[in-house]
Amino acid sequence: MGLLEIEGLNKAFGSLTVTRNVSLSVPSGRKHVIIGPNGAGKTSLIHQIGGQLQPDSGRILIDGAEVGKLGPEGRARLGLARTFQKNTLFPKLSVHENVRLGAQARFGSPFDLFRPARRSTELDDRAASLLARFGLDHLAQAPAGSISYGDQRQLELAVALSGEPRILLLDEPTSGLSPTETKALVGVIRSLPDDLAILMIEHDMEVVFSLADRITVLYYGEVLAEGTPEEVTANARVQEVYLGAGI
Ligand SMILES: Nc1ncnc2c1ncn2[C@@H]1O[C@H](COP(=O)(O)OP(=O)(O)O)[C@@H](O)[C@H]1O
Ligand SMILES: [Mg+2]
């Protein structure tokens, strides 16, 4: 069984079905990429996994435990972290403070009985080492809103990783980036811990093929194809419906 397991998920907004009987499995260490045209239901799927949106039916399991009606915080405690398609940084706080807050949200609360609060210096050290890993240490004291868009997207990833997740959900992490910034971000994603399970939405095919171990193609809320990059590109339905549409 995968670290992240989705079974027969369904979701509709009124008469619009955005998720139809979607199943997928992401074991520890795998990079699984979701592709599909605009409006295919990719973001809605990630919202359901992250706890931002309740599915109508189906199951989501993290390490064998059904997440049910757990909110985003409860899922974070099970090891899930995510970034959003749109920027969610605190623009007036420093780069360092943004990462530190991420770590604090996960490890710093004295009300979490299952994890002793980490000491303040420990949180600062963790934030500093993450920023160094991302090559953002020279910007540590700058307000997050003042750094370049490419650096902001890397910072979002650093914030997501600050809680030491086992599963990372990324919604179009390279959107809006220049080719150089995209390359840098791909390098960072490649350098993440080997055992981290990653489920990411990506529209840049070069990025998809340089990162994906497996690909799921979503089309009108349904899984059109799932497999290795080679299997998916050789799939006649994918060629006809998805690649043939020139998307
Ligand atoms: N909260 C919502 N209420 C109604 N319709 C929505 C809502 N969120 C998304 N949709 C619609 O659901 C469909 C899938 O959207 P989305 O999951 O964002 O697709 P993708 O990320 O693949 O582009 C789109 O037609 C979108 O307009
Ligand atoms: Mg989307």
41-54: pLDDT as tens digits: 999 999 999 999 99
What is the 3 state secondary structure string of the chain? CCCEEEEEEEEEECCEEEEEEEEEEECCCCEEEEECCCCCCHHHHHHHHHCCCCCCEEEEEECCEECCCCCHHHHHHCCEEECCCCCCCCCCCEHHHHHHHHHHHHHCCCCCCCCCCCCHHHHHHHHHHHHHHCCCHHHCCCEHHHCCHHHHHHHHHHHHHCCCCCEEEEECCCCCCCHHHHHHHHHHHHCCCCCCEEEEECCCHHHHHHHCCEEEEEECCEEEEEECHHHHHHCHHHHHHHHCCCC
Name which of 25-34, 60-69, 80-89, 100-109 the model is least confident about.
100-109
Task: Give per-residue pLDDT as tens, 139-195.
Answer: 999 999 999 999 999 999 999 999 899 999 999 999 999 999 999 999 999 999 999
Determine phi and psi for 198, rounding to 5 degrees.
Answer: -120, 130
pLDDT at 202: 96
For residues 59 and 99, give the distance between their C-alpha atoms in angstroms, rounded to a whole number: 31
Q: What's the CATH code of the domain at 11?
A: 3.40.50.300
- The per-residue pLDDT for 122 is 84
Q: Are residues 133 and 38 in the same domain?
A: no
Range of the domain at 119: 88-164
Measured by CA distance, the residue closest to atom 7 of ligand 1 is 13
pLDDT of residue 119: 67
Contact yes or no for 17/11 (Cβ under 8 A)? yes
172 C-alpha to center of ligand 2: Å? 7
- Rounded to the nearest angstrom, the distance between the alpha carbon of 53 and the centre of ligand 1 is 11
Which ligand has an atom closest to residue 47 CA? Answer: 1
When divided into structural domains, the chain yields a total of 2
Q: Which pLDDT score, from 0 to 100, does residue 222 have?
A: 96
Are 121 and 175 found together in one domain? no
Residue nearest to ligand 1 atom 16, measured at CA: 41
38 CB near ligand 1 (under 6 Å)? yes
Same domain, 38 and 138: no
* In a shared domain, residues 98 and 159: yes
pLDDT given for residue 209 in this prediction: 94
Q: Which ligand is nearest to the CA of 22?
A: 1
pTM of the predicted protein model: 0.92
Looking at residue 117, what is its pLDDT? 56
48 lines ligand 1 (CB under 6 A): no
Q: Is the CB of 41 under 6 A from ligand 1?
A: yes
Mean pLDDT within 200-222: 95
Q: Are both 36 and 144 inside the same structural domain?
A: no
Do the Cβ atoms of 142 and 94 come closer than 8 Å? yes
Cβ atoms of residues 64 and 20 within 8 Å: no
- Decide whether any atom of ligand 1 lies within 6 Å of the 221 Cβ: no
Distances (CA, A) of 131 to 1, 54, 163: 33, 33, 14
Q: Please check whether residues 131 and 237 belong to one and the same domain.
A: no
User: pLDDT digits over 82-99, tens only?
Assistant: 988 777 899 999 999 999
> Is the minimum distance from the CB of 42 to ligand 1 under 6 angstroms?
yes
Q: How far is the CA of 106 from the centre of ligand 1 (A)?
A: 29
Q: How many CB atoms neighbour CB 155 within 10 A?
A: 23
Mutation test of ligand 1: which of 10, 11, 44, 172 has the most ligand atoms closer than 8 Å to its C-beta?
A: 44
Write down which residue in 111, 139, 164 finishes a domain.
164
Expressed in angstroms and rounded, the spacing between residue 138 Cα and the centre of ligand 1 is 38
- Of 146, 164, 182, the residue at which a domain comes to its end is 164
What pLDDT, on the 0 to 100 scale, is given for residue 244? 60
pLDDT at 64: 94
Residue 37's nearest CA partner among 201, 236, 175 is 201
